[in-house]
Amino acid sequence: MPIDYDAARDILTTEFEAAEALFREGREAVVPKTVALATEGVFRTKTQAYREALLGCAIVRIQDPDINIRLPYVNQGEDAFNGRTLDERVINPFLHDHRIPASRGPYLSALRRNVRFVPETLGQRDAKGYASFLEFISELEVADSDTAREYLRHLLWAFVKLRDSADIPLSDVHRLSVEQYGALIDGLLTVRSGGLLPVLLAVATFKMISQCFGLNWRIEWQGINVADRAHGAGGDISVFRNGELVFSVEVTEREIDRARVVATFNGKIAPNGIDDYLFFFTATNPTDEARQAARQYFAQGHEINFVPIRDWIISVMTTSGPRCRRIFTEQLRELLSRPEVPAALKVAWNDHLQAVLAV
């Protein structure tokens, strides 16, 4: 049957998201050692066409096991497929849309016309890279649809890793309206970041407030999933002035219930003598029991407040003026440009900024 290009794009999107999640968690798809070694070999070569061609071959294997993935030209037989069209319509645009280093044109343009993906094919300058490419093809040939998906996910994981090592320039804009900032922040808060993006948004806002109003705050923050107690910190973000703690902040994407408030008080607030503690939440409102616990601690001299981060940022921006809003943009871009920030978040910034400007 002919290749379904819309379905091919959906397959890529689904498996790419899974690969990104694995990479973000420091894991990779479990595949046989032969597939892992073949992938490493393909990504060591300077011939980008090999790894890009494998994406198409994996998709074809998933869609129709009766197609011969070694025959990427339709004139090569009834069981061949149109590799060039698949690359032009799906693979190449997908890689560029996700800011992954890739060829500017179809991968077949880098290979001899009517090429067959077989050992007998001559003229390949990178013999080692081609051998790894053929090894991956051989593994795909004997894989069923589900296994081929696992191999595709592993291949895409390697593309994510490649992108993460690349220099991704961050888009900039001189001015945005408050409404545009609202749309931008809404978009960024939907990005899967393991909680990192909300923290960066909060830090950028605190830096804006300090710089804009001359508060001379010292803002300390740490990465997500870093144990606060082990680092002597009261939260994800701590704000100091003249050496004294002003307040501590915990940024969360999870629901805040009574148990969470009690654990935070016993583990962070009380031991560190924190009088003002903020919970910034991204979506779900704290439970009534959580608010009741906070009121009890207030009576003991400790303020615990719950603030929706999106509303807080927009409120601050609305009363700060264009100059301060520009400072926010500069601070957030500086945070995102740090080498330890995953490339996926830099791509997300570029994409969501472009979407806001296009409206």
Whether residue 225 is predicted with pLDDT greater than 60 in this model: the reply is: no
Task: For residues 97-105, give the mean pLDDT.
Answer: 88
Task: For residues 229-239, give the mean pLDDT.
Answer: 70
Whether residue 95 is predicted with pLDDT greater than 50 in this model: the reply is: yes
Task: For residues 302-315, give the mean pLDDT.
Answer: 97
Per-residue pLDDT, 104: 84
Per-residue pLDDT, 127: 87
Categorize the per-residue pLDDT at 231 as very low, low, confident or very high, splitting at 50, 70 and 90: very low
Question: Percent of the chain, pLDDT > 70?
Answer: 96
Residue pLDDT, tens place only, 147-188:
999 999 999 999 999 999 888 999 999 999 999 999 999 999
Per-residue pLDDT, 105: 80
Question: Percent of the chain, pLDDT > 90?
Answer: 82
3-state secondary structure of 306: strand
Residue pLDDT, tens place only, 194-220:
899 999 999 999 999 999 999 999 999
CA atoms within 13 A on the CB side of 338: 11
**CA distance linking residue 118 with residue 70, whole number of Å:** 7
Residue pLDDT, tens place only, 270-298:
999 999 999 999 988 999 999 999 999 99
**CA distance linking residue 241 with residue 276, whole number of Å:** 14
Whether residue 227 is predicted with pLDDT greater than 60 in this model: the reply is: no
- Asked if 52 and 92 touch (Cβ cutoff 8 Å), the reply is yes
Residue spans of the domains in the chain: they are 5-164, 178-358
What is each CA distance from 152 to 59, 135, 140, 253, 260, in whole angstroms? 8, 14, 9, 30, 39
pTM above 0.85, yes or no: no
Task: For residues 14-39, give the mean pLDDT.
Answer: 94
Whether residue 71 is predicted with pLDDT greater than 50 in this model: the reply is: yes
Whether residue 224 is predicted with pLDDT greater than 50 in this model: the reply is: no
DSSP-derived pairing of the beta strands 244-252 and 303-308: unpaired
